[in-house]
Amino acid sequence: PASTHVDDHDRITVAGVALADIADQYGTPSYVLDELDLRHRCRTYREVFPEAEIAYAGKALLTRAVATWVTEEGLSLDVCSAGELAIALSAGVNPRRIIMHGNAKTPAELSAARDAGVGRIVIDSHAEITLLAATLTRRQNVLVRVTPGIDAHTHRAVATGVTDQKFGFPLEHGQADEAVRRVLGQPRLNLIGLHCHLGSQITEVEHFRTAVDRMIAQMAQIRIDHGTILTELNLGGGHGISYVCGDPQLDLSSLAATLDDALDDACARHRFPRPRITLEPGRAVAGRAGVTVYRVVSVKHVTGGRTFVCVDGGMSDNPRVALYGAHYSVALANRHSIAAPAVVTVAGRHCEAGDELAVDVQLPSDLHPGDVLAVPGTGAYHHSLASTYNAVGRPPIVAVRDGRSRELIRRETVEDLLRREVSG
């Protein structure tokens, strides 16, 4: 986070709190979350896109506190399961400001969304149209999710704009047309717009221009075919951030300029009224606000091989390295070291050779058990992707602000895990 400093004892602090103190007080590994950093990024979105609706994508990181912060900052909330919906509602989020997503929403989830009175449901399949029509008791605002056929050059696992994947209805072969026709035929479904999400960790703005072009063309065609003017265009999230120094990131100001330009252009070309834009950033709001702290457990020099610095967390709190080949930086957080830097692999504690947090990073050569390491950029898709692999409980989330810390989520204990056992 921007509030990262080094104190008089050469310890790394975030929002005025030494990470080493967090390690002592809450144990390790722990996710540390800088509240003001996250709030500031929400504010930046509001400033850079004053006319757009910004819906925070809760899948990146959702706790009651986070739901409260983002909505206090004027954002709406995108949820994609009954669980995320329940967290949002228990935080007191106004249901009208909730957007419900999901490619396989179950009947129970659609009923929960209906009962909560969520503002919008994004329709993702024909089965959902049928199910919603049967479930709803009053008119519900909906969007149809389409896949605009854009390859945003991101990791295959998170490339959702391309046609051959499970989300939404492809524009090709009239598949989106058919979905729109069916939705418009359902009196309880009030179609107000279209949605697309190109993928995650996108760093080039031009993909969003293409998306606007194709989506406005589709909206104009819907007006021609059905006489319906859709007023909302949800362009999803996917705004890339940098994880390690020198990584490219998506520039929000140039995204704003590009969207503006693309909308002017496409709307003029089709003589279509400019729709209200919704953006759904998750990573770009929460990612840089988080740091994970670990404790070194052992340092192993393999003769003829690498030096492994093994820590007390790993792929259970950060599966992104194994899943996406993600890169992270690592810093010594509890003391100053004048030792020469060494090239090491920071490895996790899990029973797989691939459980590595950072390969070939430079750290002081005098690292020893007990040292505290910090991995920045872990605010988004870390707690939310965490598992209990090897029956290791999930870490707590500790919020820091103005020199103070408080736990938002406590550590998952072995007792928590045992409590799920039904018979012995």
351 is annotated as an active-site residue:
yes
Nearer to ligand LLP, 201 or 405 (CB): 201
Bridge-based pairing of strands 17-18 and 372-376 is: unpaired
117 is in an annotated binding site: no
Shortest approach of ligand LLP to residue 334 CB, angstroms? 28
Nearer to ligand LLP, 11 or 288 (CB): 288
Task: List the one residue out of 22, 4, 12, 7 whose CA is nearest residue 399.
Answer: 22
Shortest approach of ligand LLP to residue 279 CB, angstroms? 9
Shortest approach of ligand LLP to residue 236 CB, angstroms? 4
Nearer to ligand LLP, 207 or 283 (CB): 283
238 is in an annotated binding site: yes
Nearer to ligand LLP, 17 or 85 (CB): 85
Distance, in Å, from the CA atom of 272 to the CA atom of 402, rounded to the nearest integer, reads: 48
Give the residue ranges of DSSP H helices in 91-194.
107-116, 126-135, 175-184
Distance, in Å, from the CA atom of 255 to the CA atom of 257, rounded to the nearest integer, reads: 5
Nearer to ligand LLP, 284 or 372 (CB): 284
Which of 117-139 are b and which e, b meaning 16 or more Cβ less than 10 Å from the residue's Cβ? Answer: ebbbbbbbbeebbebbbebbeee
Distance, in Å, from the CA atom of 308 to the CA atom of 354, rounded to the nearest integer, reads: 12
Backbone angles phi, psi at 341, to 5 degrees: -70, 150
Shortest approach of ligand LLP to residue 150 CB, angstroms? 14
Task: List the one residue out of 252, 262, 350, 266 whose CA is nearest residue 310.
Answer: 350
243 is in an annotated binding site: no
Helices (H) and strands (E) in the chain, counts: 12, 21
Q: Residue 268: count other Cβ atoms within 10 Å of its Cβ.
A: 11
Contact yes or no for 52/299 (Cβ under 8 A): no
281 is in an annotated binding site: yes
State which amino acid sits at residue 146. V
Shortest approach of ligand LLP to residue 196 CB, angstroms? 9
72 is in an annotated binding site: no
Shortest approach of ligand LLP to residue 250 CB, angstroms? 9
Nearer to ligand LLP, 140 or 234 (CB): 234
196, 245, 310, 351: which is the annotated catalytic residue?
351
Distance, in Å, from the CA atom of 115 to the CA atom of 416, rounded to the nearest integer, reads: 30
328 is in an annotated binding site: no
**What does DSSP assign to residue 317?**
T
Give the residue ranges of DSSP H helices in 124-168.
126-135
352 is in an annotated binding site: yes
Write out the residues near ligand LLP by the rule CB under 6 A.
Answer: 57, 59-60, 78, 101, 158, 197, 200-201, 236-239, 280-284, 320, 324, 380-381, 385
Question: Would you please indicate which residues are annotated as catalytic (active-site) residues?
Answer: 351
- Sequence ranges of the binding site: 238, 280-283, 320, 324, 352, 381
